[in-house]
A and B are shown apart, each in its own frame.
Chain A
């Protein structure tokens, strides 16, 4: 009995030692970002590196001068418009996909899988040509449309899975009592699926905020988001590590806050497009 108990304790100690090492490895890059963001430029580029050095806020002041603040505003605009557009089109479609038959359902299902598998580079070159002809390059409208290539299928799939969790019987009961189909959707299904829909919205917002590839190609000088603008700290000869780390903090802190809010829906988001394939 005692040997089994001792064996269990040994296993648990080993577990926490290994998890501790893992967490340390996860922490080191974050530590670099935080420490570097508050370093003077001289200390940030020193050879050999100084891990701890005098604290300053001058990198955050530099963000203003380099037009990075403007790109944060652009990121916010793109995130809001994209999330709204995704929900407006994605939530009703997700509901329809979860609730039975209609012409085009199989088509929609095939699309969802297809766009989950194909890399964005396949769509982006023709979109670039289209948008060039339609004068949509460098506009928020064009970028919002392009972001939908990935986010709309994701949102349809996710909200469909949440609507499937809402018992159809509840809607049927409401319909027997005289509610129309729209009323059943708006008054019964939507409120019951609301927590799921909110986490879908947050995950879409996080993805839009972090997107790099699409705006790299489709953004203009006045519409560049922070995820692309941060690369400007890499100069021809030198890299402004301090300002870059400060910019990185402004990119990741809002996401971490949203993550805490969306935690319940996170796992479903990660597996979207794969389960019930």
Chain B
């Protein structure tokens, strides 16, 4: 009898211990994911969300780096933006840059991806080699293309001369500065788009293509009716990523053309930097930043709508 009492007396104690342990564990468990993620969340809040909110706030002030006092001037910066004679050119340059790089990079990138979509030996090495421009620091790309486009000692005009073609002043001509930016962008942008799109192409089931070919479709028809619809999601991602990348393109312009001649190749991103940190007009620059955010959000939203309509 005492043994039974002993075990009976012990058993609840033991199970209470166990339930205490699980209770404390489940509390810790509940907080473990929070403890793991909140430090990162707090950092992002500090370096991303708060500065973003501050940019919106600054856009309503006349804050200037070299003047000590400032005040809220509300919409005046935006009023000034509308009447700023440089802004139409800046907006045009931004659209030229973003649409130009996205269209050229994606079109030629798709061609390159189709060329690399082969299982023949040696294609693997070729794919790796095309990855090198993507991994080259943008500052090195910008400096190298500045050398290539140089009037006197640049290779581009030298080769054009050998072919008895005209040798334009690439970086000094307002009509050629932006094309020069686009050409240098294509050097990294085409391989970038190609590598992304290739991942989509490799996922297209080959039976589908073979079946269409067996039904008498030629290569172009197979590509147009089978391959292209299958890679539509990847194509959309590639276009959006290129869009976002072009809006933030910086050294490829600041170093290659310095935004010139004049402001002929200055997009909004560079103009914000110049206004805020070179001419110290932080408040005015912040109002341009708000416009840039709206442009990006608007155009990505538009792309999304077009993609949904199309599918």
Contacts and interface: CB of A to CB of B under 8 A. Distances in A.
A248 B130 CA distance: 19
Interface string B3-36: 0000000000000000000000100110011111
A139 interface: no
B155 A49 contact: yes
Interface stretch (B99-107, B111-119, B204-212, B221-229): B111-119
Contacts of A197: none
Given A90-B40, A102-B34, A123-B48, A230 B139 contact: yes
B199 A267 contact: yes
B132 interface: yes
A238 to B, nearest CB: 11
Contacts of A45: 152-153
Interface of B: 25, 28-29, 32-41, 43-44, 46-52, 54-55, 58, 112, 115-116, 118, 120, 126, 128-141, 143-145, 147-148, 152-155, 158, 161, 187, 191-192, 195-196, 199, 219, 237, 240-241, 244, 247-248, 250-251, 255, 269, 272-273, 276-277, 282, 285-286, 289, 292-293, 296-297, 300
A148 B45 CA distance: 11
Residues of B contacting A: mostly: helix
A111 B277 contact: no
A109 to B, nearest CB: 11
Interface string A6-28: 00000110010011001101101
Residues of A contacting B: mostly: helix
Q: Which of B140, B251, B273, B286 has the most CB of A within 10 A?
A: B140
A93 B39 contact: yes
B238 to A, nearest CB: 9
B36 A123 contact: no
A152 B155 CA distance: 40
B135 A256 contact: yes
A26 B129 contact: yes
B221 to A, nearest CB: 15
21 contacts: A12-B118, A19-B126, A29-B141, A47-B152, A92-B39, A93-B41, A95-B33, A102-B34, A118-B293, A118-B296, A126-B58, A127-B51, A130-B51, A181-B29, A244-B147, A252-B136, A252-B140, A255-B136, A263-B128, A267-B195, A267-B199
Contact of A181 (B32, B199, B255): B32
Contacts of A15: 115, 118
Contacts of A270: 134, 192, 195-196, 241
Nearest to B108: A22
A271 B196 contact: yes
Nearest to B40: A93
A71 interface: no
A240 to B, nearest CB: 11
A212 B129 contact: no
Contact of B36 (A93, A252, A274): A93
Contacts of B49: 111
Nearest to B118: A15
Contact of A125 (B143, B241, B282): B282
Contacts of B240: 274
B28 A122 contact: no
B33 A126 contact: no
Contacts, number: 250
A210 B110 CA distance: 27
- The 3 A-B pairs with the shortest beta carbon distances in the complex, nearest first, are A210-B137, A119-B248, A93-B40
B132 A256 contact: yes
Contacts of A170: none
Given A32-B147, A248-B140, A121 B248 contact: yes
A268 B237 CA distance: 13
Contact of A96 (B33, B130, B136, B148): B33
A277 B251 CA distance: 28
B135 A128 contact: no
Contacts of B276: 125
Contacts of B155: 28, 32, 49, 51
A49 B153 CA distance: 5
B147 A117 contact: no
Contacts of A259: 131-132, 135
B251 A213 contact: yes
A93 B37 contact: yes
Interface string A224-248: 0001101100100001010011001
A115 B28 contact: no
Contacts of A244: 143, 147
A111 B44 contact: yes
A275 B237 contact: yes
Contacts of B112: 19, 22
Interface in A157-206: 180-182, 185, 206
Nearest to B54: A126
